[in-house]
Amino acid sequence: MQLFVGLGNPGGKYARNRHNIGFMAVERIAEDHGFGPWRAKFQGQVAEGRFGSDRVILLKPETFMNRSGQSVGEAMRFFKLEPADVTVFHDELDLAPGKLRVKQGGGHAGHNGLRSIHATLGPDYRRVRLGIGHPGHKDAVAGYVLRDFPKADADWLDDLLRGIGDGAPALAAGDAARFMNAVALRVSPPRSSTSAPKSPPPEATPPAAEPDDRNPLQKLMDRFR
């Protein structure tokens, strides 16, 4: 059994914030793979499903970001899980928008949701880092992550979430490379090589010869001129 945790803040006010991309990721997995309905549990919202024989619990903590560890810890204790069974999807300022990386263990880099989870279960869990870009100055970070994605980001965001849905079974199977490849195929699809080559320009048609209406004697005389 595995626990996939999406980080965000509860309520419609925050639903489209950059900080809520973790919620968006697990919601997309639930939708694409027919998980059960979301229900209140573990101080959050939970949906259950399977990828083959792998049972996966999706969790959206509703404790607000800086207390996410409370909800995650409660779910882990209930299901008797280890940190290695947990994958956390979260926004990442240090990756360009639309980029994704999978990381096992490490620090929390000042992310309040990860900081709370670290305090509850330590660093030895897997993270899916979802790039949202950086506003350029640390003083602008709080306002940046708590603003909605602009309409200009809609295409890459949809591609990223579709790729996460596509690759989720591979992630559950422990194949991070195949998961990231599934995302890449959505975000940066290969260019088609099946398009027909351009036709070469048609050759110029030589001008038609003018009719020769000379009689035989004139032709003979012209040869010796």
Written out in words, the top-level CATH class of the domain with range 2-187 is alpha beta
The amino acid at residue 103 is K
C-alpha 23/C-alpha 44 separation (Å) is 11
pLDDT of 190: 79
Say whether pLDDT at 218 is over 80: no
For 220, phi then psi, to 5°, come to -65, -40
Select from 160, 200, 197, 122 the least CA-distant residue to 21: 160
How far, CA to CA in Å, does 147 sit from each of 14, 97, 137? 8, 14, 16
pLDDT of 132: 97
Q: Where are the domains of the chain?
A: 2-187
C-alpha 187/C-alpha 95 separation (Å) is 14
DSSP H helical segments within the chain, as ranges?
A: 21-32, 68-79, 112-121, 141-145, 154-172, 176-187, 216-223
**Angle, to 10 degrees, between the axis of helix 154-172 and the axis of helix 21-32?**
60
Tell me the average pLDDT of the chain.
90
Q: Active-site residue numbers?
A: 19
For 54, phi then psi, to 5°, come to -85, 115
Say whether pLDDT at 204 is over 50: no
pLDDT of 216: 62
pLDDT digits (tens, 9 = 90+) for 129-181: 999 999 999 999 999 999 999 999 999 999 999 999 999 999 999 999 999 99
The pTM of this model reads 0.84
pLDDT digits (tens, 9 = 90+) for 57-100: 999 999 999 999 999 999 999 999 999 999 999 999 999 999 99
